[in-house]
């Protein structure tokens, strides 16, 4: 005949049963999550090369430990016949359900931060032509602009189409300025008489309003906006206009036999990269008058030289960063051990403050991120991104003061780096299941796909992932 156990033993039996159920619940949860990570999230790559979902190896160990603990506790429960109490089972089930929450929090900590799609614009029904780039409006507006050969579209802070600037049949948008200072961007359009690049247009990024339009024959390359100037080059001159009104400020003829390649403008000067009889030369023009202040013969290697910044004056030639003083002298000769800075292909550059951030190759194995001072040309730091092999996008995060970097490996990751040291701010964020094109831009949490086929969302926003 069974006798009622003493209160202390009954309490111990209830605790053993509750613990056994709790560890069993966590073990089952972790086992299900392991299957999900392995079957759904695993890439085709090998785990040694970053193909395993983050946290999977630790999760497997915790699943094993929880299972072993549950097995030991169930052995004690059966041995002590602690399963015969209805009150004990009620308590045990309640404890097991409660234990799932800290178990889930543990899983979230093991896998680290994740982001997935929050909202997006549906892609159009036809190809949009060659993508040209994007602008971001003032941070308070949240506006983002995407430009392609067929037209320009502005999206408001909620991702909806705010305005659209289309080109007439047979026309095209030819080029856009890299920046939009004071919320004004520059576009060049094709005209019937002059082909691609016969019209310069200033556009308000937030409203889409065309502030002014000027027909200029034989435009070359992309226009530049900086300070209070809009600058462009033609076949025979460099032209500067007031960015706000379009009034001509000055016209500076090119040297005889020179062909403009690129222009850049800052508050203090205009830089012109041109091919001359002596090779490729960099010209510095005064921002007020357009008079030539100095010229410098650029070194040319396997890749063409490229302007980095007009203020401070800096350019890359033969894979080396050159920073110039007011007289056009190189502030410091590049050292042989400094990283090679590419100027063509999918190279990502970002100028933030007085620093250039550039993706640089590491022995043709992967891309690293290097930072260079634009005050004296010094190499500041270089960093790798664990198992990721490619830098896809760079952006200055105005809210945190960090440099945002999107990298690609087995997965895409979003990193936030200290601009002074390159050290990461917290763990990288895994970007889950995003439809990214071969080229895209990042503005805060908004991605702009620069996809010529038109099959991908033109823009989309990401947010912290909820759920598994």
**Collapsed DSSP state (helix, strand, coil) of residue 402:** strand
Which residues have CB under 8 Å from 255's CB, separation 6+? 274, 276
Neighbours of 395 (CB within 10 A): 21
**Does the structure show a pLDDT above 60 at 125?**
no
* Residue 194 phi, psi (nearest 5): -115, 0
Neighbours of 363 (CB within 10 A): 5
Q: Which two tokens stand for residue 340?
A: 């090679």
Residue 317: strand pairing partners: 320
Q: Which two tokens stand for residue 44?
A: 């085709």
H-state helical runs in 366-413: none
- In 331-401, beta strands by DSSP E: 349-352, 355-362, 366-373, 379-383, 390-397
Q: What is the model's pLDDT at position 335?
A: 67
Q: With bands split at pLDDT 50, 70 and 90, how would you rate the model's confidence at 141?
A: confident
Q: What is the model's pLDDT at position 3?
A: 57
Q: Which two tokens stand for residue 167?
A: 């080109």
Report the distance separating Cα 154 and Cα 332, nearest Å. 42
Environment class of 169 (CB within 10 Å of its CB; exposed 0-12, middle 13-18, buried 19+): exposed
* Top mean-pLDDT range of 147-156, 167-176, 287-296: 287-296
Environment class of 238 (CB within 10 Å of its CB; exposed 0-12, middle 13-18, buried 19+): buried
CA 177 to mean position of chain CA atoms: 19
Report the distance separating Cα 35 and Cα 49, nearest Å. 20
* Residue 346 phi, psi (nearest 5): -90, 30
Q: What is the model's pLDDT at position 9?
A: 66
Q: Which two tokens stand for residue 350?
A: 């970002």
Q: With bands split at pLDDT 50, 70 and 90, how would you rate the model's confidence at 1?
A: very low
Q: What is the model's pLDDT at position 50?
A: 60
Q: What is the model's pLDDT at position 365?
A: 82
**Collapsed DSSP state (helix, strand, coil) of residue 319:** coil
Give the Å distances, CA to CA, from 165 to 148, 150, 207, 246: 10, 9, 11, 19
Neighbours of 19 (CB within 10 A): 21
- Mean pLDDT, range 234-238, rounded to an integer: 92
β-sheet with 306-309: strand ranges across: 306-309, 314-317, 320-323
Which segment of 157-161, 263-267, 371-375, 384-388 scores lowest on mean pLDDT?
A: 157-161
Neighbours of 356 (CB within 10 A): 24
169 or 70, higher pLDDT: 70
pTM of the full predicted structure?
0.85
Neighbours of 114 (CB within 10 A): 20
Report the distance separating Cα 183 and Cα 165, nearest Å. 16
The H or E element spanning position 131 is strand 131-136
86 or 409, higher pLDDT: 409
Residue 314: strand pairing partners: 309, 323
Helix orientation angle between 7-36 and 56-80, rounded to the nearest 10 degrees: 150
**Does the structure show a pLDDT above 60 at 117?**
yes
Contact 344, 361 (CB under 8 A): no
Report the distance separating Cα 117 and Cα 461, nearest Å. 6
Report the distance separating Cα 310 and Cα 324, nearest Å. 10
What are the b/e assignments for 78-97, b being 16+ CB within 10 Å? eeeebeebeebeebbeebbe
Measured in residues, the chain has a length of 468
- Mean pLDDT, range 292-306, rounded to an integer: 91
Residue 134: strand pairing partners: 146
Q: Please name the residue that has the structure tokens 């915790």.
A: 62
1 or 352, higher pLDDT: 352
Q: With bands split at pLDDT 50, 70 and 90, how would you rate the model's confidence at 54?
A: confident
Q: Which two tokens stand for residue 373?
A: 């001072």
Contact 322, 329 (CB under 8 A): no
CA gyration radius for the chain? 30
Q: What is the model's pLDDT at position 85?
A: 66
332 DSSP 8-state letter: S
Q: What is the model's pLDDT at position 292?
A: 93
**Does the structure show a pLDDT above 80 at 256?**
yes
Environment class of 388 (CB within 10 Å of its CB; exposed 0-12, middle 13-18, buried 19+): buried
**Does the structure show a pLDDT above 70 at 435?**
yes
Question: End-to-end alpha-carbon separation of the chain, Å?
Answer: 51
222 or 92, higher pLDDT: 222
Report the distance separating Cα 264 and Cα 70, nearest Å. 67
Instruction: Write a three-state SS string for 240-282.
Output: EEECCCCCEEEEEECCCCCEEEEEEECCCEEEEEEEECCEEEE
Q: What is the model's pLDDT at position 242?
A: 95
Report pLDDT digits (tens) over 309-351. 999 999 999 889 999 999 989 987 766 677 888 887 667 899 9
Average pLDDT score over the chain = 86
């Amino acid at each position: 005949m069974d006798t009622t156990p003493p209160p202390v033993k009954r309490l111990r039996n209830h605790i053993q049963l509750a613990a056994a159920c709790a560890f069993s619940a966590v073990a089952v949860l972790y086992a299900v999550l392991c299957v999900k990570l392995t079957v759904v999230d695993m890439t085709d790559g090998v785990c040694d090369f970053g193909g395993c979902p983050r946290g999977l190896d630790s999760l497997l160990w915790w699943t094993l430990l929880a299972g072993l603990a549950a097995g030991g506790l169930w052995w004690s429960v059966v041995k002590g016949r602690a399963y015969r109490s209805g009150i004990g089972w009620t308590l045990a089930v309640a404890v097991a359900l409660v234990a799932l929450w800290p178990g889930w929090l543990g899983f979230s900590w093991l896998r680290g931060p994740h982001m997935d799609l929050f909202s997006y614009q549906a892609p159009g029904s036809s190809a949009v032509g060659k993508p040209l780039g994007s602008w971001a409006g003032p941070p308070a507006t949240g506006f983002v602009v995407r430009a392609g050969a067929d037209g320009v579209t502005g999206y408001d802070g909620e991702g909806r189409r705010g305005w659209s600037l289309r080109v007439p049949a047979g026309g095209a948008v030819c080029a856009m300025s890299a920046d939009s200072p004071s919320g004004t961007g520059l576009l060049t359009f094709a005209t019937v008489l002059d082909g691609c690049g016969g019209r310069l247009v200033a556009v308000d990024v937030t409203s889409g309003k065309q502030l002014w339009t000027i027909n200029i024959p034989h435009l070359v390359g992309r226009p530049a906006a900086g300070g209070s100037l809009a600058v462009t080059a033609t076949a025979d001159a460099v032209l500067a206009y007031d960015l706000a009104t379009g009034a001509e400020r000055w016209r500076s003829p090119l040297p005889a036999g020179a062909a403009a390649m690129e222009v850049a403008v800052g508050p203090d000067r205009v830089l012109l990269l041109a091919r001359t009889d002596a090779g490729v030369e960099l010209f510095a023009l005064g921002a007020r008058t357009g008079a030539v202040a100095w010229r410098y013969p650029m070194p040319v290697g396997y890749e063409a030289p490229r302007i980095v910044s007009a203020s401070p004056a800096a350019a890359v030639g033969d894979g080396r960063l050159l920073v110039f003083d007011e007289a056009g002298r190189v502030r410091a000769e590049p050292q042989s051990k400094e990283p090679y800075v590419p100027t063509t292909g999918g190279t990502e550059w970002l100028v933030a403050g007085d620093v250039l951030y550039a993706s640089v190759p590491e022995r043709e194995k992967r891309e690293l991120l290097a930072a260079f001072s634009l005050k004296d040309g010094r190499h500041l730091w270089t960093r790798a991104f664990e198992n990721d092999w490619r830098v896809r996008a760079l952006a200055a995060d105005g809210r945190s003061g960090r440099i945002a970097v999107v990298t690609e490996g087995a997965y895409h990751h979003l990193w936030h780096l200290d601009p002074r040291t390159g050290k990461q701010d917290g763990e990288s964020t895994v970007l889950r299941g995003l439809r990214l094109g071969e080229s895209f831009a990042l503005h805060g949490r908004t991605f702009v796909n620069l996809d010529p086929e038109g099959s991908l969302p033109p823009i989309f926003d990401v947010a912290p992932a909820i759920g598994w």
